[in-house]
Structure 1
Amino acid sequence: MATGIRTYRPLITGTTHMVSTGHYLATAAGYRILEQGGNATDAGVAAGIVINVVLPQYTSFGGVAPIIIHDAQKQDTVEISGLGRWPAAASIDYFNQNCGGEIPVGVLRTVTPAAADGWLTALKLYGTMTFEQVVTPALELAEGGFPIPDTLHRALIGAGGGLEHYDGDNQKWQSTRDVFFPGGKVLETGALLVQKELAGTFRRLIQVERDNLSGGRDKALRAARDFFYHGEIAEEMVRFVQDQGGLLTMEDLAAFHVGVDKPAAGSYKGIDVYTCGPWCQGPVSIEALQILEGCDLQAMGHNSVDYIHTVLEALKLSFADRHHFYGDPDF
């Protein structure tokens, strides 16, 4: 297959299935699930949870997970809005009165964790496997560890100063430092990163699912979700956040559910393009592509000066519109 693009990476092709992610271990996890008979959603959830483990500088199981799923049989595309909500107490008035109109670094920026609900919702509605099956690759990497890449090492160096934050005699975020700065030293490139507490969370969710499988797969997945948002894990999250001065409550967690909606849609040179909605900046991609539709990028040459300049200008215009016009449609 000729691409005309010069690359130093191996050309990967497939005849039955393939997986592409932001980390090779996540790609391996998704492919492993497909080889075990899972469908694309099963593989996507498995790969996504591995991303939560191996790219902690970008995402986490307690973070966000915007998801798009295309059902080829039904010819239907949906988005799962895996994005958290602010605690009810986190009002503009609160930050104006208590923080000088700023939102301080730390737990006051905490929103409801959305990734867990996003993954479990995708699995329940569009997958075929159990949570235990799809989370096992991530569990193995959290429990057994993985060699950290240079990108994570450099991110830890950049974040290190911000973690050295004291409130009186108490150093904040000690639990974070214990994981990523064992013994007070940053993990070096190639060092093994073990996240035993995260592995413990996975194991507890697996056990809840096992305990409820006699009632069927859907009931078991719902029980795992409830344990995270209503049960012991929820109580532990709220206790930790509030002990650190945050606003998250059990009521915030109980009220939270991801949405399942139609995605934003557009086209580029006759190709349909779908992204998650403005709550995650997705339409920026569609707008940039539609700006570029009138440009002959191929004639400019891939990654030429003109090519890069044109793409960047299209993105700048799109991001400017994001700043001025985007908002969460639920508010």
Structure 2
Amino acid sequence: MKRFLTLLFYTAFTVCATAQQTQKPVLHGKHWMAITGKPLAATAGAMTFQKGGNAVDAACAMLAATCTMWDVLSWGGETQALIYNPKTKKVIAINAMGVAPTGATAEFFKSKGYNFPPQYGPLAATTPGTPGGIMYMLANYGTLSLEQVLGPAMEMAAGYPIEAQTANSIEKNKDLIKQWPYSKKVFLTHPGEEREAPEAGEIFVQKDLLQTLTKMVEAERAALKKGKSRKDAIMAAYDRFYTGDIAKEFVRGSKEQGGLITMQDMAKWKPIEEEPLKVNYKGVDVYKLQQWTQGPVMLQALNLLENFDLKSMGHNSTRYIHTLYQAMNLSFADRDFYYGDSYFPPQEPMKGLLSKDYAKQRASLIKYDKNNPGIGPGDPYPFEGKKNPYLKLLKERGYELDTTKRNFAPTHDSRNGSSMTDYQDMLWRGTTTIEAADKEGWILSITPSGGWVPATIAGNTGVGMSQRLQSFVLDPVLNPFNVVEPGKRPRVTLTPSLALKDGKPFLSFAVQGGDTQDQNLLQFFLNVVEFGMDVQQAAEAANFNTNQLWLSLGGTNTDDRKPKPGHILLNENTPEAVRNELKEMGYTLSFDERTSGPINAIYFDWKHGSLWGGSSNYGEDYGIGW
């Protein structure tokens, strides 16, 4: 009888979850959709569409605006994007991740007492990727000039009313900001006063950044006057940033403050257009960036979950939560050991990792009655006809289950311990997302990041330097594919998503939040595909997060990053019956009011010829459609 009542409770909970009233409405559009992390930046996208630009132009304008607003990234950070090209009907991937600079070796960081590269400061920086990413996408797939696309960002650099979220983050981090003279000059607008950061609504001026953006536009204008094509003129601006006077000042400012980036590092770096990875889940093709991101972890999880009848379990029932938790842990265990920069040896075994047969083998490890705290990396090599060269290293990883001194928060800009308040704060401030689509069929999903507050600004450029070097490891026992080397890209958490159904665009979606990104995106996708939620319901629905993984961002000590088996974040509305059964299965529970993750998404309604936008109800995410 007790089980019967519990089942009824689960069913009622599932119905409520799938039919929930959302806090924000679905956005509807016929011609275009622009969604990102700040209202002003979404407006920049709308302005660009109104100028006649396509989704690529609008996405680049939103990216430029969010960088200028430090949400939570800057111009020296990194960009990773998926683009659907309606002319070729293919998804392409843009790799605009910066690389480790000259001298950034494991031995260098170990000599300074680090177990991981530092979280902050010039030594945390990769080369800037976002400027190159914007100009590459715009030159090759946009329609407007760089000057037109950067117009909103330049106006904002000249002065915009700063929002409370960023202003308060500056105040919170002012002690770190004071270590770097150029950051102090830009961020602390009231030096010596009790509150040294700007106030909410204050007109925040960034003269140096405006000068940098102006130089880029001047380079484009000069090239056009010489008869250069639109594309070549944009790339002239690219050259001025990466090899000209902007690069020289960036490098000088970096070196002055102890950084490693050289002019050669700047000149050698290039954005790369790649083939994305994909799997098919029940007739839907899901696309992710390659293994220099964590994106394939969601693809692995989908392959695993195809072996289960998730819908019959009920949304967020005990069995559903348990099954997803185990599938995510299996996938993250592989991520933590096998993912890295595919342009550096050794070659990652992605064919094996994304094999359906490998997924079936891994799925057989899931225990139905309890959490498995001993989940580790699998052996995908036989599934691509090879022998695993790292079996010895895998045996050395036994200490990964030591759970002491480990916090839950993806603590890339928190110094206040391990409370769930800190965790929530990280979800709010973790980076941003950009979703754009137009009536011609261009679609972009972007998850840019890097150079967040407290950023080290490089000289008089106004450009905040990336902090992404911290996602490397120094010990090959942790991951032989992701050991820091000059010229190498770190394995990042940033993971935009696109899905096609019957050869047509189906969903474009992304989320901020460090290691939680693909956890929340997986659940968002299943909310739509398995449980029939609309795009806004799926974005707001309660998710859960596992902490049984190695943190990609955080402290410089190994203990700061170790997995915490069985720890799970649940929504505070989770029924008591579900809580009790999870405890009986060996889970350690924590709760929060909102656990959906700040997801932004676009659904393509081919029946009615319209766009449906979902904009996160977390913080300042905002969308505009027309």
TM range (shorter): 0.7 to 0.9
Cα separation, partners in 2 of 1:246 and 1:33, compared to 1, 3 Å: same
Deviation at 1:98, TM superposition (A): 4.6
Q: Which runs of 5+ in 2 are unaligned?
A: 1-17, 345-626
> Does structure 2 retain, via aligned residues, the 8 Å contact 1:57–1:155?
no
How far apart, in 2, do the equivalents of 1:110 and 1:128 lie? 32
**Structure 1, residues 35-66: CA drift from partner, whole Å, max 9, x if none?**
22111111111111112122x25221111010
How far apart, in 1, do the equivalents of 2:318 and 2:207 lie? 47
Q: Is 1:208 the counterpart of 2:219 in the alignment? A: yes
* Aligned match for 2:198, one of 187, 190, 200: 187
Letter in 1 for 2:94: I
**Structure 1, residues 282-312: CA drift from partner, whole Å, max 9, x if none?**
22232334444435358634x7787666655
Any residues of structure 2 matched to 1:249-268 within 5 Å, and which?
249-268=262-281
How far apart, in 2, do the equivalents of 1:326 and 1:205 lie? 35
For residue 129 of structure 1, give the secondary structure of its aligned residue in structure 2: coil
Letter in 1 for 2:107: D
Deviation at 1:107, TM superposition (A): 0.6
Cα separation, partners in 2 of 1:212 and 1:71, compared to 1, 3 Å: same
Q: Is 1:177 the counterpart of 2:184 in the alignment? A: yes
Cα separation, partners in 2 of 1:95 and 1:225, compared to 1, 3 Å: same
Higher deviation after alignment, 288-297 or 44-53: 288-297
How far apart, in 2, do the equivalents of 1:66 and 1:83 lie? 7
Residue 120 of structure 1 is matched in structure 2 by: 135
Residue 167 of structure 1 is matched in structure 2 by: none
Deviation at 1:160, TM superposition (A): 2.9
**Structure 1, residues 100-121: CA drift from partner, whole Å, max 9, x if none?**
5553431112211111111111
Deviation at 1:317, TM superposition (A): 3.9
Letter in 2 for 1:328: D
Q: Is 1:90 the counterpart of 2:119 in the alignment? A: no
Cα separation, partners in 2 of 1:254 and 1:312, compared to 1, 3 Å: same
Bigger fraction of residues in helix: 1
Residue 33 of structure 1 is matched in structure 2 by: 48
- Which protein is bigger by CA-based radius of gyration? 2
How far apart, in 2, do the equivalents of 1:295 and 1:149 lie? 45
For residue 341 of structure 2, give the secondary structure of its aligned residue in structure 1: coil
How far apart, in 2, do the equivalents of 1:84 and 1:234 lie? 14
Identical aligned pairs, as a percentage? 35
Cα separation, partners in 2 of 1:85 and 1:258, compared to 1, 3 Å: same
Cα separation, partners in 2 of 1:276 and 1:149, compared to 1, 3 Å: farther
Cα separation, partners in 2 of 1:39 and 1:96, compared to 1, 3 Å: same
**Structure 1, residues 130-171: CA drift from partner, whole Å, max 9, x if none?**
111111111112212133143x2443344334334xxxxxxx
How far apart, in 1, do the equivalents of 2:38 and 2:305 lie? 29
Letter in 2 for 1:275: K
Q: Which runs of 5+ in 1 are unaligned?
A: 165-171
Higher deviation after alignment, 40-49 or 284-293: 284-293
> Does structure 1 retain, via aligned residues, the 8 Å contact 2:162–2:199?
no
Letter in 2 for 1:207: E
Residue 80 of structure 1 is matched in structure 2 by: 94
How far apart, in 2, do the equivalents of 1:88 and 1:255 lie? 11
For residue 13 of structure 1, give the secondary structure of its aligned residue in structure 2: strand
For residue 77 of structure 1, give the secondary structure of its aligned residue in structure 2: strand
> Does structure 2 retain, via aligned residues, the 8 Å contact 1:29–1:43?
yes
Letter in 1 for 2:182: S
TM-score, normalised via structure 2 length: 0.48
Cα separation, partners in 2 of 1:33 and 1:87, compared to 1, 3 Å: same
Letter in 1 for 2:207: K
Any residues of structure 2 matched to 1:23-62 within 5 Å, and which?
23-54=38-69, 56=70, 58-62=72-76
Cα separation, partners in 2 of 1:141 and 1:96, compared to 1, 3 Å: same
Residue 19 of structure 2 is matched in structure 1 by: 4
> Does structure 2 retain, via aligned residues, the 8 Å contact 1:288–1:314?
yes
Residue 142 of structure 1 is matched in structure 2 by: 157
How far apart, in 1, do the equivalents of 2:161 and 2:172 lie? 21
* Aligned match for 1:197, one of 170, 188, 208: 208
Residue 66 of structure 1 is matched in structure 2 by: 80
For residue 140 of structure 2, give the secondary structure of its aligned residue in structure 1: helix
* Aligned match for 2:294, one of 260, 281, 285: 281
Deviation at 1:272, TM superposition (A): 1.4
Cα separation, partners in 2 of 1:246 and 1:265, compared to 1, 3 Å: same
Deviation at 1:260, TM superposition (A): 0.7
> Does structure 1 retain, via aligned residues, the 8 Å contact 2:163–2:201?
yes
Q: Is 1:17 the counterpart of 2:32 in the alignment? A: yes
For residue 267 of structure 1, give the secondary structure of its aligned residue in structure 2: strand
How far apart, in 1, do the equivalents of 2:73 and 2:342 lie? 23
